[in-house]
Amino acid sequence: MYKFVFLIDEKERFDPTHFQESIVLGLNQSGSDLEAVAKFLDASGAKLDYRRYVETLFDILVAGGMLAPGGTLSDDMTCTEFCLFKAQEDMETMQAYAQVFNKLIRRYKYLEKGFQEEFKKLLLFLKGFTESERNKLAMLAGILLSKGNLSAAILSSLFNENLVKEGIVPGVSACFAVKLFKSWLTEKDINSVSSGLRKVGMDSRLMELFPANKRSCEHFSKYFTDAGLPELSDFAKNQQSIGARKELQKELEEQMSRGEPLKDIIPYVREEIKKNNISEQTMIGLIWASVMNSLEWNKKEELVTEQAIKLLKQYSPLLKSFTSQGLSELTLLLKIQEYCYDNIHFMKAFQNIVVLLYKADVLSEEAILKWYNEAHLAKGKSVFLEQMKKFVEWLKNAEEESESEEEEAD
């Protein structure tokens, strides 16, 4: 049973000095027993105004006292040795501290936003902390990010110019990021990292950890690979590839809207495939999306099919140029299925589109039968299979007749 002395009165509720003294006293009484610390914080929330003094509370738990601008401890305030910065620098201890913060925020949900803002501020103060203090903060951040107690939006503070700039050693931001991501990847895998970053748009901003003259995929990959984080290097390469594909699709759509001839578009696409090492399967998906985005579609279902047929007739030579492999044809079929399902006005147009592309030699009999028999998506499956039933029967009969004729010829 833990007992804590509370210095509570009305004055204290509106006085940060009294609030700080109460928290410091409780932490000193709890000592290095983090379970006792968690219980003290849980009980204190009913008596102390956490909502009003959220910054003070987290300053003390992290640094031992109130932080002045720049990250130094305020001299005129009571401090404690029992805080994150004075703890041992190892993952086990940081995981125990993460539990303290996790329990506190789960108990008092209104602290979530304040905790997020506190972390953004702490990251801006990194230069005011010792290397060991930065390491502990990075390890804690990685654990909390992996558990969803923090949003990756806090990383925006690391892009501050003063933290990014380098002297004879890498900038504070890049060094801090290494510790943070190692900690995150100790708890979860790269999928957790990529998901957390994408959720808040940080996936495309990691290059900003470095000065402007070093924001290249090559430098990023070498730095993090050398630091023992090849997963992050691969993630950055993948992001660069995604960025290149987005730019390519945008350019294709613009070329189509300008009405540029296919004799110019096809060589351009071939060059981009070579330059960005894009597979034909990926490219046919981009071309399909670009074609379908190049037109303003009619809202009336009966007119959409007519529009689609006209457009796809025009661009069938482009589609044919990049379906030289069976897998590319199947990819295109799946893209068509997905598009018709996601855009309800196209639900009835699926069969017409597939038949048109079959007649234009974009889709082969083999690809259509494979899609029909085993490789279709679940999206709208019953509707699309029913639409294709008669055409597939015709294909099978034509195939049988062809085989029969070949046998007779032999």
Task: Give the torsion sign (CA, 17, 23, 28, 32).
Answer: negative
C-alpha dist (Å) from residue 377 to 37, 158, 171, 326, 368 = 53, 42, 48, 17, 13
Domains and CATH numbers, the chain: 2-236 (1.25.40), 297-403 (1.25.40.180)
Q: What is the DSSP string of 144-160?
A: HHHHTSS-GGGGGGGG-
- State residue 203's pLDDT score: 87
Q: Please say whether the beta carbons of 11 and 18 come within 8 A.
A: yes
Q: And the tokens for 285?
A: 């998906």
- State residue 29's pLDDT score: 93
- State residue 127's pLDDT score: 93
- State residue 129's pLDDT score: 95
Write out the chain's pLDDT in tens, 410 residues: 444 444 444 554 557 788 989 999 999 999 999 999 999 999 999 889 999 999 999 999 999 998 998 888 887 777 899 999 999 999 999 999 999 999 999 999 999 999 999 999 999 999 999 999 999 999 999 999 999 999 999 999 999 999 998 654 578 999 999 999 999 999 999 999 999 999 998 988 899 999 988 888 889 999 999 999 999 988 888 887 777 888 889 999 999 988 899 999 999 999 988 888 888 999 999 999 999 998 888 878 778 889 999 999 999 999 999 999 989 999 999 999 999 999 988 999 999 999 999 999 999 999 999 999 998 999 988 999 999 999 999 988 876 665 555 555 55
- Say how far apart CA 85 and CA 129 lie, in whole Å: 9
- State residue 137's pLDDT score: 97
Which single residue is written with the structure tokens 């201890």? 93
pTM more than 0.75: no
- State residue 14's pLDDT score: 56
Cβ neighbors of 137 (< 8 A, separation 6 or more) are: 62, 84, 85, 122, 123, 126, 129, 176
- Say how far apart CA 50 and CA 73 lie, in whole Å: 20
Cβ neighbors of 4 (< 8 A, separation 6 or more) are: 25, 26, 29, 30, 40, 43, 44
Q: Please say whether the beta carbons of 204 and 152 come within 8 A.
A: no
- Say how far apart CA 45 and CA 101 lie, in whole Å: 13
Under DSSP, the state recorded for 72 is: P
The runs of H, that is alpha helices, within 227-261 are 230-257
